[in-house]
Structure 1
């Protein structure tokens, strides 16, 4: 599936679509990518009804031009299914995924991996929905496809085995869970831990590594969360500018930092910061949040000049936000850095300002943002 590599602007997308409709008519196949872009703009800002209309129209045009069994329908349908899943409309998403499976079953033999991918999407939906036996069947199907097409020791097979381990654990099937996890570990033995996470695929691999680590420690809930995040990387690549991507990345960076995996945390914080600045603007409160977290990490690593620039960025935003304790938090952290740089006079000024803020703050008078 091709990623939409531009941060969409709703008005620009609407105008581009209107111009194309004037030139080409309302049912031309060239409208489909424009409808995809406008739908992306809509659902990135929570306008799900409008986004659904665009995706449905793209599907309708593709059906008219290419036929109801065209492979070109699969990415169109996937867009709609993800939109439903974001809203936790599981039943609607299920029907769409079932249709993509029926379509990919008709693909030539070289398209068999596409069938496994669609089965995995539906399995993930069932897992989130709590329909574990249905998820189990689909993951087993995918595992067999990967074994036959890629070999029993391929990493995709290991992903399936990890999924089955979690499904069996949830069902109380300890023996089956342990058997699948042991096989998964055997296949992934020697796989390097990736510290420098440059791509969404790298992040997925790192999350898979961490999920297995938590599973070994008996932290099943954490293992499940990490594994589900690992499987989200395809969606992140499809809609890299969607706000839920930067939010997810920031939360994952927090997790890595808490685990002492500072190299991974730094790279993910930087990716989250760049996305938030691009999507939400340089002065958005969430930009301050990520800048502050990254500054703390670099401060800990004694990279004081880099950390100072990020503290300053966070301060410049938080001075205009409506939740003073966050401003006090950054003032205090920055003051500690200045002390280490032997700039005690400025540090004292910041500490005094933070104290005044907290002393005068009344929770009833402010809403946290």
Structure 2
């Protein structure tokens, strides 16, 4: 009972990182790995065995959440989004544990090793943030060696140092080197505190994160289930640490095709955050977004709409419309409304998003182009509603869609021209990865806009009842431009050939072949 109360009191004042997933693959770069390391201090209870100690080096796991003394942001190839919360300061937390004495270690040798261990870890972190990876690796290895010499092979200092190096290898994608270190850290903690200690539970969660990032779903599931069992027993069902593991276990189950079980866990993890007063936190918002994605993929549009309305409400209250985060939340809701056939509310939201983006972004930003493409699609749906009753209104909607698409195409082309110039002078840009992502988005928007423009022209032809045998030259030109743009940017390797880009190209190619009646190469 004492352990549960002590651990719960400690963890109430701490925030825990929570990163999660995306269909799109991402790679963590050195620039992303700038999260400040928090080094624990070593205090030992005088001859009374082990206790949960705020200055215990093993609490690297608890203090920093999933990742002990984390080196940076997780890059999970399976997740839609990445989410972290900053760890709270651990200053003055000793008052939370009644009767816990803060006793300095009297050993001069131990103090020397502790100081050197800290210096190695601090310096390694500094080198890592500077991109000096070889130097950082050597220092992390030195920290392990120093911990083993000063405290023994199975001391929690060693577990902490092993976890640091494991994280280093994880972000370097040296997975074969990282896994043994994670396992060694867990073994040391088990021997020090027992297999059911909360620190072992959080270490198991860390390893689950590692496996999830590699899409080793079954291994991740086993580790998360073990972590959740320990945390529930020690901390209680409603604790935020339980919520965190529940969410990630839910993600794993969803990726394994167990949608119903996943939905229950993810909803419970969100409810626990809301009941704990964190319903408006960034972590909760990201989990809600993930839940809405699950609903959309399973065609539960009404449920997705409800979740997205909640997200937008929170964003409007906390950030207002002068924030792109609010605009993106509103756009997501607008697209869900569009999927449900509610074009009126969808159009209103998209127009508000467009106006906000024009105030917040440069006039040629690709987000504005995407916004215009969405509005064009709304206009096309409205055209379909009007054409049986009022042809003039239907034609007006098509003209509006065409205008939006021309502007979207112009913006996308301008963006691609900039990316091409950056490719020629890559050394002048500090973050070429951002340029590539922008180029991929611009090419996808360009292909989609040209493809949609061809649909507008064909729909207009139908409204005007032009003879079927005549080839629509405008539609043909839009499709040929779509094919040409793909070949120009992908064949020259200016832009990576993502699945979205490839699918849009194949759609244009197929429609062009059907329109022209022969193969196009």
State the TM-score, normalizing by the size of structure 2.
Answer: 0.41
* Aligned residue in 1 for 2:276: 65
- How far off is 1:214 after superposition? 2.0
Q: Secondary structure at the match of 2:364?
A: coil
Is 1:213–2:450 an aligned residue pair?
yes
CA RMSD of aligned residues (A): 3.5
Distance of aligned partners of 1:200 and 1:175 in 2 relative to their CA distance in 1, 3 Å threshold: same
Structure (1/2) with the larger helix percentage: 1
Report Cα offsets for 1:91-140 as digits up to 9, x if no partner.
11111111111111111358721111111111121222222222211111
What is the 5 A alignment of 1:263-278?
267-268=496-497
Q: Take 1:82 and 1:63, find their aligned partners in 2: how far apart are those partners?
A: 20
* Aligned residue in 2 for 1:79: 290
Is 1:139–2:350 an aligned residue pair?
yes
Q: Take 2:269 and 2:299, find their aligned partners in 1: how far apart are those partners?
A: 22
Structure 1 gaps of 5+ residues are 222-254, 272-369
Q: Take 1:59 and 1:66, find their aligned partners in 2: how far apart are those partners?
A: 11
Is 1:178–2:386 an aligned residue pair?
no
Tell me if the contact between 1:147 and 1:153 (Cα under 8 Å) persists in the aligned partners: no
Structure 2 gaps of 5+ residues are 1-17, 22-75, 77-212, 384-396, 424-431, 459-481, 501-521
Tell me if the contact between 1:256 and 1:262 (Cα under 8 Å) persists in the aligned partners: no
Q: Take 2:250 and 2:310, find their aligned partners in 1: how far apart are those partners?
A: 21
> 52, 70, 94: which one pairs with 2:263?
52
Q: Take 1:174 and 1:19, find their aligned partners in 2: how far apart are those partners?
A: 60
> 191, 213, 222: which one pairs with 1:11?
222
Tell me if the contact between 1:256 and 1:264 (Cα under 8 Å) persists in the aligned partners: no
* Aligned residue in 2 for 1:118: 329
Report Cα offsets for 1:31-66 as digits up to 9, x if no partner.
333222111111112211111111111111111222
Q: Take 2:327 and 2:361, find their aligned partners in 1: how far apart are those partners?
A: 12
Q: Take 1:14 and 1:28, find their aligned partners in 2: how far apart are those partners?
A: 16
Q: Secondary structure at the match of 2:318?
A: coil
Is 1:163–2:400 an aligned residue pair?
no
- Which structure: larger Rg? 2
Q: Take 1:41 and 1:33, find their aligned partners in 2: how far apart are those partners?
A: 13
Q: Take 2:242 and 2:354, find their aligned partners in 1: how far apart are those partners?
A: 37
Report Cα offsets for 1:2-37 as digits up to 9, x if no partner.
543112432222222222223322111123332221
Q: Secondary structure at the match of 1:192?
A: helix
What is the 5 A alignment of 1:1-369?
2-4=19-21, 5=76, 6=213, 7=215, 8=217, 9-109=220-320, 112-172=323-383, 173-192=397-416, 203-218=440-455, 260=487, 261-262=490-491, 267-268=496-497
Report Cα offsets for 1:225-276 as digits up to 9, x if no partner.
xxxxxxxxxxxxxxxxxxxxxxxxxxxxxx989x6555669954799xxxxx
Q: Take 1:264 and 1:129, find their aligned partners in 2: how far apart are those partners?
A: 38
Report Cα offsets for 1:165-187 as digits up to 9, x if no partner.
12112222112112222332343
Q: Take 1:46 and 1:24, find their aligned partners in 2: how far apart are those partners?
A: 30
Distance of aligned partners of 1:77 and 1:111 in 2 relative to their CA distance in 1, 3 Å threshold: farther
- How far off is 1:218 after superposition? 3.9
Report Cα offsets for 1:329-359 as digits up to 9, x if no partner.
xxxxxxxxxxxxxxxxxxxxxxxxxxxxxxx
Tell me if the contact between 1:32 and 1:62 (Cα under 8 Å) persists in the aligned partners: yes
- How far off is 1:217 after superposition? 3.7
Distance of aligned partners of 1:24 and 1:88 in 2 relative to their CA distance in 1, 3 Å threshold: same
Distance of aligned partners of 1:121 and 1:269 in 2 relative to their CA distance in 1, 3 Å threshold: closer
